[in-house]
Amino acid sequence: MKEVPVYLFTGFLEAGKTKFIQETLEDERFNNGERTLLLLCEDGIEEYDPSTFSSGNVYIETIENESDLEPKALEKMLQSYKAQRVLVEYNGMWLLDTLYQQMPQNWVIAQEFLFCDANTFLSYNANMRQLVYDKLRSCELVVFNRCGPDIDRMSLHKIVRAASRRTDIAYEKPDGSVEYDEIEDPLPFDLEAPVVDIADRDYALFYSDLSNEMGKYEGKTLHYKGLVAKSARLPEDTFVFGRQMMACCANDIQFAGLICRWPEAKTLAKGEWVVITAEVSIKWHKGYGKRGPVLTVTHVEHCEKPEEPVAVFY
């Protein structure tokens, strides 16, 4: 079955999604005649003007309710127009997992962009952190528009980086000019040290960075504190080691751990806090069901529970 590329545009009301999509569809470099289904998941203040699109092969459908996101219905829309690709203006109040889970199997996210009003973003983040994080964690570009000289770019930068170190950040000034974020984000630990010491406060960042860029950790020796977890599906010499981690709010706390091998693993108790020294190998393991970081433990020290047992990004 041929894959259908999906271009996903997220953000809250008045964030600039409609304007960007309108301009994109007016650009013949993108809209050169390919049959396109445009799905609108919210009613914005601005309206589309199809008469200025560079091609007439754009077909607009409205999704009124989150529950209307259903594979068969979406596929029927696509087939009714014989569309070759899909653009989605997503409702900022809907979680992205709803769309991800309900897309037809052959629909594939090609690009994902988040648009934010720089003047209201901090307020949204303070009051609706879960929804903001939901949009930040997977987008490849965040555009902060209406970004005047009084905007604290560092505050915006830190919030984005707490969710993703890969996402590009652009600041669009009121005059329409754009500057890209060039703030450096050095890791708070030294990956070139003989033993990489991960402080308690840095576990969430370490785990996220390792998950995104496993290759650079190959062969590194790590030293950090964590919680022992056990599984009957794993061999006696294997345990899972990590921390409870909160990405955005208490509702999303979950255990974020790594597979560890140690000949004396059976002496460790589930829920016990220890400090390990271990070497990282990136390889397939049945505990992940795919390639991932497998730690060969060389030393274990028993320790007290940390003051802040739940790891956070901020």
CA dist 301 and 278 (Å) reads 12
> What's residue 210's pLDDT?
94
pLDDT band at 72 (very low <50, low <70, confident <90, very high): very high
What pLDDT, in 10s, does the model give residues 143-153? 999 999 999 99
Above 70 in pLDDT, residue 250?
A: no
What pLDDT, in 10s, does the model give residues 127-171? 998 999 999 989 999 999 999 999 999 999 989 988 887 899 999
* Phi, psi at 71, each rounded to 5°: -50, -45
Amino acid at 132: V
Nearest alpha-carbon partner for 205 in 186, 219, 222, 181: 186
> What's residue 185's pLDDT?
82
pTM value > 0.85: no
| CB within 8 Å of 121: residues ≥ 6 apart | 132, 144, 156, 159
Q: What SS3 state is found at 243?
A: strand
Contacts 24+ apart (CB under 8 A), 23-32: 24/87, 25/53, 25/54, 25/55, 25/58, 25/87, 26/52, 26/53, 26/54, 27/54, 28/54, 28/55, 31/55, 31/58
